Structure 1
Amino acid sequence: MRQAITNWQTDQKTDTGRKQKPQYRSALRVLVSYGAEHRMTFALVVLCTVIAIAAELLQPYLVKIAIDDNLMAGKNDYGGLLTICAIYFGLSILGLLFSYLQSNLLQNAGQSIVAKIRKQLFGHITKLSMSYFDKTPSGSLITHVSSDTEALNQLFNQVILTLLRDGFTLVFILVMMFQLDRTLGMYCLVLLPLIAIIAVAFRSFMRNTYQMARTRLSRLVAFVAENLSGMSLIQAFHQQKAQAEQFKERNDAYYKANIREIRTLVLFNRSFDLLGNLTIAFVVWLGGMAVLDRTLEFGVLYAFITYIRQFFQPVIAITQQWNTLQSATVAVNRIWGVFDIRPEVEDKPQPVRIEREAVQGRIDFNRITFGYESGSPVIHGLGLHIHPGEMIGIVGTTGAGKSSLISLLCRFYDVQEGSILIDGIDIRELPQAELQRIVGLVQQEPYLYAGSIIDNVRMFDESISRDEVIRACEFVGADRLVRRMKDGYETKLSERGSGLSAGERQLLSFARIIVFRPRILILDEATANLDSQTEQLIQQALKVVSEGRTTLVIAHRLSTVMQADRIIVMRRGRIVEEGKHHELLAMQGYYEELYRHAQGGEPGANRGRFQGNFQGSRAANPVTG
């Protein structure tokens, strides 16, 4: 199945590697490959379908025998009629049994396939590069994993079941009609071109309609997801009314697309209703004259009319699944469109292996250049060399490139020029899994999952024992916090750890570092949102976790990095100053300006220059000023 995905992805790319629009047939070909391991199940489904349909379609033929060979012939063969009734009843039970088996077998196979696709889709999304998530709304990804796979689920629940059962029914009915009377059967063949014309006329229009509805639903879900994640900001700035207006626009657009979809479906189905009624009237008129002329038996006419009615039931059923088929088609294309996206950051075919315990922690940034968009670099030819076990403070105003530098070290992105080395090895040569074990990251807002404290500290890795987690929490000072909770380490946290303070969440994130023992530690604004007392606790924990590790600390609060072995000052993607705290102050440069501003003091000439720049920016932008 993975090979099938790879082949499909290869088909979708040009020689230059650019992605083309996924093709419907290619996607379905891959979908069929998922059913290869269920081929025996699908063979049994077909067998059960044939038996169930045969049992159902033989019933009108039995009635025809009873009418022509008994009632119309004037016989009083009650035993023969009783036998026919018994066979009729037996066929009904047989049809019910094999229909039940057919549905269950198909659903078991279908649910297994959909569950596997959903699992692979989620796994593929988690392997995509950060650049993909920068450009893709989270609501769109939620739609892929939930709504699109649910549409795929309906493909097996409804569409395939209907196509199998009703498709065979149509074929068998045609066979039975020709068996009864070839002349009437030939007349009924005129229906097939009419059905094909109606289907072709509606097909492209209906597909565009369903595509529009799915796209607008995705936009609606994305908008809701973004608003829920930023609800505190919306309420703080009283944006409820403005956001409600935007939601109304998207909701109305989705509503109109749904109405258009329903109108199209109703018109499509009613066209077949009209065609079916006209056909029955035609057969009654033509067959009735044949019965009166004694060229056709009445039982044959009865059975023929019954088959005509049964002929249009599967046609209508198939057309009623048309919208589901279209939705599933769009969903398949969207899902495999995600599968078609390759991570920008990938492991080399033969990566370099390195033992984590053997890592010394030397880091070299060799004249690196990087930009999120081509032609707009945010880091320009930066060179930085960090010794093993050294603590480096990284400071600078917003937009200086601090977090971008750290993202490159974690290899969320790849540098466009230059290289980043750990112990002399280019990080692009290392497997990402090993790099992420070597480099530990503590972010400004540590993410906690819904689950116990034990699982959050060990990140659901069962190979890490409970005792190791407890020792790690004791090491960073989080044990007292956990012990105060009702269920201790088994306390269930809600999503994002709501109910815990920022400092408590940060302590648990430090415990993670102890558990996973990375050789290089990165703290990205880890104390930015903490009060002074909590910051002191975090500072103590920082000293503990940084001991023996190469540590990079990004900080807006200069007090966080004052004791660092070295501080680098970044501005517009470049290192403009470098040294210890007192050395940088003695330079009376950009760092001293940042320090005095943070202290709220008067740095003399530098203070005047800073105020002049600030006032100039206010004059240029009075709204933000």
Structure 2
Amino acid sequence: MSKQTTNAAGQKTGDRQQQKKAFFEMLRYAKPHRKSLGWVVLFSFFAISAELLQPYIVKIVIDSGVLTGERGIELLWLLGGGFMVLAGLSLLFTYLQATRLQFIGQSIVAKLRKDLFQHIYTQSMSFFDKHSRGSLVTNESSDTETISQFFTQVLVSLIRDGLMLILIILLMFSLDVQLALYCMIVLPVIALIAALFRRYIRNAYRNSRTQLSRLIAFTAENLAGMGLIQAFHQEKEQINRFQKQNKLFLKANIREITGNVLFNRSFDMLGNLSVAFLVWIGGTAVLSQQIEFGVLYAFISYMRQFFQPINQLTQQWNTLQSTLVSMERLWLIFHQKPEVREAKQASDKKLRQLHKDGRIQFEGVSFSYDQKSLVLKDIHLDIRPGEMVGIVGTTGSGKSTLMNLLVRFYDPVKGTILLDGQPLKQIPLQTLHQYIGLVQQEPFLYGGTLIDNVRLFQQDISKERVIAACEAVGAGPMVQRLSQGYDSHLSQNGSGLAAGERQLISFARILLFEPKVLILDEATANMDSHSEWLIQQALEKVSVNRTTLVIAHRLSTIREADRILVMKDGEIAEEGNHQELLAKNGHYATLHHHSFKERARPTS
């Protein structure tokens, strides 16, 4: 029974049947290149034939009497000319074979990378909950590169070296059947060595790939949280943790290299012993005049060449094992189906016929992340068009989950969510996300110009419209401070901008794309009072004629809301406007008391 391991995504890998399915599914990418692969095989055959005919020509010359002086200098000229022609042909066809195969391999992997990236983008948020960023980066870069090496290195070795082995055996038998049969004794020994090392090397390469994925995942997550690490002086602890991961990867690599060296050196030793055995058997046959000396010379040459393709194939064994692991990992990713399924296209037409009012209804909605404990419990909610609703509650109360369900990052386990009377599951995701605008606590900014970050690279949106949106939300003074204004290049996540400035860009997006429903998820958390004031001013502008839901950490953000929902333990505990909730002297009043007490506390 094959050994199974768990990769960084928590997936079981190592099942032989699973690897076999993965291998043949990945090979389907080579199907459009069948004709080109046929040319590769033909070019390889000509190149190998030109190479293997060289010892045969020497054999003919030797046995024609050159050593005894029976033939003249013209035969040596013939020998030299023949060698030059064959060497030239070998070079030409090897070049044609290599360039054609490289083109095939790079084309296959380019399409594989595109399909993988596109497939990852179709996944639901639950997929990203289970797969770390480092693991997905490994899949997209390292795993696809390993598969590229299979098509550009392993495949050429299988074709070229496989053909060479077959042709060498045929030439040996054409020279002398009995001596060829003696040489074939090594084949069972080769098979035995391969069988002894196969499982060890396969497991070693699989373990090495798993440790590499974990190391990359750990590094990516640490870089993402560098601010927190430095703020809490966790550098030493994280370095120690990295060192532990690095040692595990080092140990796996050493085990991998050890197996590879032992495997290859075993074949080297076997090759030298085989040549020695052939010299003894063949030399005896020459002395007893059973075979000619030229035949023995050719056999020795072919025997040395016989182990050359075997060595080449064994040296590609590590790449093959890595390829099988990488193919299996990608196969597991490709077989992940999104939990949030796309609606039928017919519903999209129906949606366009609706009036975009912005009414939201939750009818008996319950949700669980782990299918065990409910995060939301039987939520009933009706939000009127154009209403501003504040949502507050302690951490884990379910307020962010409520919004995640509304934008269909997840689907409820029970109940229905309606948007303008239409169930969310019947609305195509692209249409839904055009209908709903989301501003998160940490807005994501791309590496690119400020204009492209606002219009999200949609070139049909003019620069003038972008500028108007930014000016409307109060981002104009911030843009003027940038060296190139609206054409300034921002680093990824806008590291050169303050939190409030990054949020203003998010609000400008909302104005530009004009969604009917606006969601603010802790958009003013961790901001200073001035930044919070800027966001409040921008909110007043972008919320006009929009249904607006504001998840707030600071209660001052939602004091003017039409209605406030107080979440507690996955349920709506209280509901009303600010004054009504204070008058109830319940959970909201307690949150309000603690919030303003905290803000009033003097700082040292």
**Structure 1 residue 84, shift from structure 2 partner:** 2.5
Q: Which residue of 2 aligns with 1:215?
A: 210
**Structure 1 residue 187, shift from structure 2 partner:** 1.0
Structure 1: how far apart are the matches of 2:65 and 2:525? Answer: 94
Q: Which residue of 1 aligns with 2:597?
A: 600
Q: Which residue of 2 aligns with 1:95?
A: 90
In the alignment, does 2:466 pair up with 1:469?
yes
In the alignment, does 2:566 pair up with 1:582?
no
* Equivalences for residues 272-283 of structure 1 within 5 A: 272-283=267-278
* Equivalences for residues 39-50 of structure 1 within 5 A: 39-50=34-45
**Structure 1 residue 465, shift from structure 2 partner:** 2.6
In the alignment, does 2:64 pair up with 1:69?
yes
Q: Which moved more, 1:464-473 or 1:269-278?
A: 464-473
Structure 2: how far apart are the matches of 1:291 and 1:20? Answer: 52
Tell whether the 8 Å contact from 1:351 to 1:430 is kept in structure 2 after alignment.
no
Partner amino acid for 1:312?
F
**In the alignment, which of 160, 172, 180 is matched to residue 175 of structure 2?**
180
Q: Secondary structure at the match of 1:139?
A: helix
Structure 2: how far apart are the matches of 1:379 and 1:97? Answer: 69
In the alignment, does 2:399 pair up with 1:402?
yes
Structure 2: how far apart are the matches of 1:357 and 1:507? Answer: 31
Q: Which residue of 2 aligns with 1:607?
A: none
In the alignment, does 2:242 pair up with 1:247?
yes
After superposition, the C-alpha distances for 1:270-307 in whole angstroms (9 at most, x for unaligned) are 11111111111111111111111222111111111000
Structure 2: how far apart are the matches of 1:123 and 1:537? Answer: 37
After superposition, the C-alpha distances for 1:19-39 in whole angstroms (9 at most, x for unaligned) are 996712211211221111111
Q: Which residue of 1 aligns with 2:448?
A: 451
Partner amino acid for 1:570?
M
Q: 1:19 to 1:45 in 2, by over 3 A?
A: closer
Question: Which runs of no fewer than 5 residues in structure 1 stay unpaired?
Answer: 1-17, 603-625
**Structure 1 residue 79, shift from structure 2 partner:** 2.3
Structure 1: how far apart are the matches of 2:529 and 2:352? Answer: 39
Q: Which residue of 2 aligns with 1:13?
A: none
Q: Which residue of 1 aligns with 2:51?
A: 56
After superposition, the C-alpha distances for 1:397-453 in whole angstroms (9 at most, x for unaligned) are 211111010001011111111110001111011111111111110001101011111
Structure 2: how far apart are the matches of 1:20 and 1:389? Answer: 55
Q: Which residue of 2 aligns with 1:506?
A: 503
Q: Report the TM-score when normalising by structure 1.
A: 0.91
**Structure 1 residue 158, shift from structure 2 partner:** 1.4
Q: Secondary structure at the match of 2:64?
A: helix
Structure 2: how far apart are the matches of 1:581 and 1:103? Answer: 74
Q: Which residue of 1 aligns with 2:106?
A: 111
Partner amino acid for 1:150?
E
Q: Which residue of 2 aligns with 1:4?
A: none
Tell whether the 8 Å contact from 2:552 to 2:558 is kept in structure 1 after alignment.
yes
Q: 1:441 to 1:212 in 2, by over 3 A?
A: same
Structure 1: how far apart are the matches of 2:355 and 2:378? Answer: 30
**In the alignment, which of 539, 544, 550 is matched to residue 542 of structure 1?**
539
**Structure 1 residue 601, shift from structure 2 partner:** 9.3
Structure 1: how far apart are the matches of 2:81 and 2:65? Answer: 16
After superposition, the C-alpha distances for 1:85-107 in whole angstroms (9 at most, x for unaligned) are 11210110110111111111101
**Structure 1 residue 256, shift from structure 2 partner:** 1.1
Q: Secondary structure at the match of 1:522?
A: strand
After superposition, the C-alpha distances for 1:574-599 in whole angstroms (9 at most, x for unaligned) are 11111111121222222122222222
Tell whether the 8 Å contact from 2:146 to 2:322 is kept in structure 1 after alignment.
yes
How many residues are matched? 585
Q: Which residue of 1 aligns with 2:565?
A: 568
Q: Secondary structure at the match of 1:278?
A: helix
Q: Report the TM-score when normalising by structure 2.
A: 0.94
In the alignment, does 2:130 pair up with 1:135?
yes
Of all paired residues, the percent bearing the same amino acid is 54
Q: Secondary structure at the match of 1:343?
A: coil
Structure 1: how far apart are the matches of 2:74 and 2:514? Answer: 87
Partner amino acid for 1:342?
K
Structure 2: how far apart are the matches of 1:296 and 1:19? Answer: 55
* Equivalences for residues 277-316 of structure 1 within 5 A: 277-316=272-311
Structure 2: how far apart are the matches of 1:527 and 1:409? Answer: 20
In the alignment, does 2:153 pair up with 1:158?
yes
After superposition, the C-alpha distances for 1:445-495 in whole angstroms (9 at most, x for unaligned) are 101011111111111223323222222212212233223322122211111
Structure 1: how far apart are the matches of 2:238 and 2:527? Answer: 30
Partner amino acid for 2:255?
R
Structure 2: how far apart are the matches of 1:233 and 1:140? Answer: 22
Tell whether the 8 Å contact from 1:401 to 1:571 is kept in structure 2 after alignment.
yes
Structure 2: how far apart are the matches of 1:233 and 1:483? Answer: 31
Structure 2: how far apart are the matches of 1:212 and 1:20? Answer: 10
Q: 1:20 to 1:191 in 2, by over 3 A?
A: closer
Structure 1: how far apart are the matches of 2:127 and 2:424? Answer: 21
Tell whether the 8 Å contact from 1:45 to 1:105 is kept in structure 2 after alignment.
yes
Tell whether the 8 Å contact from 2:511 to 2:542 is kept in structure 1 after alignment.
yes
**Structure 1 residue 349, shift from structure 2 partner:** 4.2
Q: Secondary structure at the match of 2:347?
A: coil
Partner amino acid for 2:45?
V
In the alignment, does 2:371 pair up with 1:365?
no
Structure 1: how far apart are the matches of 2:179 and 2:152? Answer: 36
Q: Secondary structure at the match of 1:505?
A: helix
Q: Which residue of 2 aligns with 1:194?
A: 189
Structure 1: how far apart are the matches of 2:259 and 2:563? Answer: 69
Show structure 1 runs of 4+ deviating over 3 A: 18-22, 348-351
Structure 2: how far apart are the matches of 1:284 and 1:455? Answer: 74
**In the alignment, which of 543, 556, 559 is matched to residue 556 of structure 2?**
559
**Structure 1 residue 76, shift from structure 2 partner:** 3.5
Structure 2: how far apart are the matches of 1:78 and 1:308? Answer: 29
Structure 2: how far apart are the matches of 1:358 and 1:109? Answer: 52
**Structure 1 residue 236, shift from structure 2 partner:** 1.9
After superposition, the C-alpha distances for 1:559-615 in whole angstroms (9 at most, x for unaligned) are 11111111111111111111111121222222122222222299xxxxxxxxxxxxx
Q: Secondary structure at the match of 1:23?
A: helix
Structure 2: how far apart are the matches of 1:594 and 1:497? Answer: 33
Question: Which runs of no fewer than 5 residues in structure 2 stay unpaired?
Answer: 1-11, 600-604
Tell whether the 8 Å contact from 1:356 to 1:519 is kept in structure 2 after alignment.
no
In the alignment, does 2:413 pair up with 1:387?
no
Q: Secondary structure at the match of 1:358?
A: coil
Tell whether the 8 Å contact from 2:343 to 2:429 is kept in structure 1 after alignment.
no
Partner amino acid for 1:518?
P
After superposition, the C-alpha distances for 1:371-392 in whole angstroms (9 at most, x for unaligned) are 1112200111111101111111
